[in-house]
Amino acid sequence: MATLDGIGRAMAGQHPSLKWAYLLIAAALMIEMVVLGVGITVAVLADDYYGHTKALRDAGEAGLLSDLGAIEAIGGWLEPLKFLGLAIFFAGIAVVLAIIIKTLQTRGQAMELALPQILGKRGNATAEEA
């Protein structure tokens, strides 16, 4: 059975699970920054590769084939990584929403216990005045 004191103590400070949400958001933001960093690396490779004539690219001159291989291979994991970052954001948002549900329940309990007490005091004060 919840008491007003218990609720007061439970509501003090920050919700303990909120730090997990912050951790997920920070991780997701870092993933998207890493994706951007890798994207810039791919851009440098692409700039080098497509700066050569089609004949050289098709002939697969030394160095060009490894550039092409890197451009294509990195794209294979970079695309899913972008979406992994977004998925982690959604996980973080889900954690915060779950905390909101729990907080609303506790807030409801606080109202249930506190309001009769507050209104009772006011009723007594009014009766004394009369």
Q: Are 38 and 78 in contact (CB under 8 A)?
A: yes
Q: Give the residue among 24, 43, 39 at the shortest CA–CA distance from 84.
A: 24
> Should residue 84 be labelled a site residue for another protein when binding is judged by CB under 8 A?
no
Spatial separation of the C-alpha atoms in residues 114 and 43, rounded to whole Å: 62
> Should residue 100 be labelled a site residue for another protein when binding is judged by CB under 8 A?
yes
Figure out which of the listed residues 20, 64, 68, 106 binds another protein, where binding follows CB under 8 A. Answer: 106
Q: Which parts of this chain interact with another protein (CB under 8 A)?
A: 4-5, 7-8, 11-15, 18, 21-22, 25, 28-29, 32-33, 35-36, 38-40, 42-54, 56, 71, 78, 82, 85-86, 89-90, 92-93, 96-97, 99-100, 103-104, 106-107, 110-111, 113-115, 117-118, 121-122
